[in-house]
Amino acid sequence: MKKYPIGFLVRDGEKQTTKEVERSIKEVEEPRKSVVEIYFSTRNMTLSYYNDMFNLKVGDLVYVDGKLEGLGGRVVSVNYSFKIKLSEYKRVIAVIDTTLYGEFYLAGSHVVSFNEKIIPYEKVIRWFKAPNTDEEEFIEGNGENRFLLEDLGTMEISSQIADRGFNYYNENRVKYISIDKGKGKAIVEGSEIYELEFEYEYQNGEIINLNCSCFCSYPCKHQFAAMLQLRETLDMIENNYAHEYASYFAAISKNKYIEMALGKNDIGKIILEV
Ligand SMILES: [Zn+2]
């Protein structure tokens, strides 16, 4: 019998359109030029930046270019009346979308969503790292490496690296993993944030073309950790939520989920249901 037969279910015409989900889709607002002050807690400093890409509000979390590139900062003031010499200012380059609404299912060390609008990769990756600003060009090979998710021995990974990957998995360093119609993505936290991609063939349980942004030329610990997490999460889904899973799931670590869900709020109410 095949394991993980989930993925065959089709649920047309049953799209979730709850108010929560609608709220999770941030309205695209017209940008409004401003000069903003941004506080960087890791440096305990506040600096001014020019913004012409977003409609920024006090409290927004953002990334900037310049010396503090890569560090997240919080907007502490927004000024619309200004006259500045542009060459003297660095800019706001991204806003971190921290909204988190919708239905989540507990799945071991992670929480899972089956709605692609709730925790899409493009949103979650900004919780961990700034967008790439260099003009570096990335090239992928298509070597068609394949192995069975059920039998990671077929992954051709050395035992030392597998051990380290196992530790990463145990330490809950696979922060995010998702599959969208067979295309998989994962975020693993090592000495920095690594992004992984793969394909999953649910008919035969094969993983194809797994790659990692650490650019190892051999299967790395991040890849092994991600595959262990994928197995755990698919097991959880299969055993508990198979009827919810059509062709998409995304899972984030519970810690990150709690940090994002509760982070901005000092007061409020939490309702837990079973
Ligand atoms: Zn790697």
Tens of each residue's pLDDT in the chain, 274 residues: 445 544 434 344 444 444 444 444 445 678 999 999 999 999 999 999 999 999 999 999 999 999 999 899 999 999 999 999 999 999 999 999 888 888 999 999 999 999 999 999 999 999 999 988 766 666 666 667 899 999 998 898 999 999 999 999 999 999 999 999 999 999 999 999 999 999 999 889 999 999 999 978 889 999 999 999 999 999 999 999 999 998 999 999 999 999 888 876 778 787 777 6
Note whether 128 and 255 are same-domain residues: yes
Buried b (16+ CB within 10 A) or exposed e, 140-157: eeeeeeebebeebeebeb
Asked if 16 and 115 touch (Cβ cutoff 8 Å), the reply is: yes
**pLDDT computed for residue 14 by the predictor:** 46
Query: Does 22 reside within a domain?
Result: no
Question: How many Cβ atoms are within 10 Å of 220's Cβ, its own excluded?
Answer: 24
Note whether 241 and 150 are same-domain residues: yes
Closest CA to 226 of 214, 240, 242: 214
Note whether 108 and 173 are same-domain residues: yes
pTM of the model: 0.83
Query: Does 60 reside within a domain?
Result: yes
CA 166 to centroid of ligand 1, rounded, Å: 13
Asked if 58 and 73 touch (Cβ cutoff 8 Å), the reply is: no
CA 263 to centroid of ligand 1, rounded, Å: 29
CA 218 to centroid of ligand 1, rounded, Å: 9
107 vs 81: CA distance, rounded Å: 49
CA 255 to centroid of ligand 1, rounded, Å: 22
Single out the residue in 45, 64, 96 at which a domain terminates.
96
Single out the residue in 96, 115, 139 at which a domain terminates.
96
Single out the residue in 81, 96, 111 at which a domain terminates.
96
Note whether 72 and 105 are same-domain residues: no
Query: Does 1 reside within a domain?
Result: no
Closest CA to 199 of 142, 160, 161, 240: 142
Note whether 113 and 233 are same-domain residues: yes
As beta bridge partners, residue 212 has: 196
Q: In the numeric block, which tokens belong to residue 122?
A: 């493009």
CA 211 to centroid of ligand 1, rounded, Å: 8
**pLDDT computed for residue 144 by the predictor:** 74
β-pairing verdict for 206-212 and 248-253: unpaired
CA 226 to centroid of ligand 1, rounded, Å: 10
The residue type at 52: D
CA 219 to centroid of ligand 1, rounded, Å: 7
- Domain of 47, in residue numbers: 34-96
**pLDDT computed for residue 1 by the predictor:** 41
* Residues composing the chain: 274
CA 215 to centroid of ligand 1, rounded, Å: 6
Q: In the numeric block, which tokens belong to residue 47?
A: 């600096």
> Residue 160 CA to chain centroid, in angstroms?
28
Q: What is the DSSP letter of 153?
A: G
Asked if 21 and 255 touch (Cβ cutoff 8 Å), the reply is: no
CA 227 to centroid of ligand 1, rounded, Å: 12
Q: Work out how many domains the chain is built from and give that number.
A: 2
Note whether 41 and 105 are same-domain residues: no
Alpha helices in the chain (DSSP H): 19-24, 121-128, 159-170, 221-240, 254-262
Note whether 209 and 75 are same-domain residues: no
Query: Does 16 reside within a domain?
Result: no
Note whether 149 and 63 are same-domain residues: no
Note whether 48 and 178 are same-domain residues: no
Asked if 223 and 190 touch (Cβ cutoff 8 Å), the reply is: no
Query: Does 2 reside within a domain?
Result: no
**Residue written as tokens 């990335």?**
138
CA 225 to centroid of ligand 1, rounded, Å: 10
CA 195 to centroid of ligand 1, rounded, Å: 8
98 vs 249: CA distance, rounded Å: 19
105 vs 20: CA distance, rounded Å: 15
**pLDDT computed for residue 141 by the predictor:** 65
CA 212 to centroid of ligand 1, rounded, Å: 5
Q: In the numeric block, which tokens belong to residue 154?
A: 């077929």
Query: Does 4 reside within a domain?
Result: no
CA 152 to centroid of ligand 1, rounded, Å: 16
Note whether 125 and 256 are same-domain residues: yes
**pLDDT computed for residue 217 by the predictor:** 80
Note whether 77 and 191 are same-domain residues: no
Query: Does 196 reside within a domain?
Result: yes
CA 222 to centroid of ligand 1, rounded, Å: 4
Note whether 85 and 38 are same-domain residues: yes
CA 149 to centroid of ligand 1, rounded, Å: 17
Asked if 248 and 179 touch (Cβ cutoff 8 Å), the reply is: yes
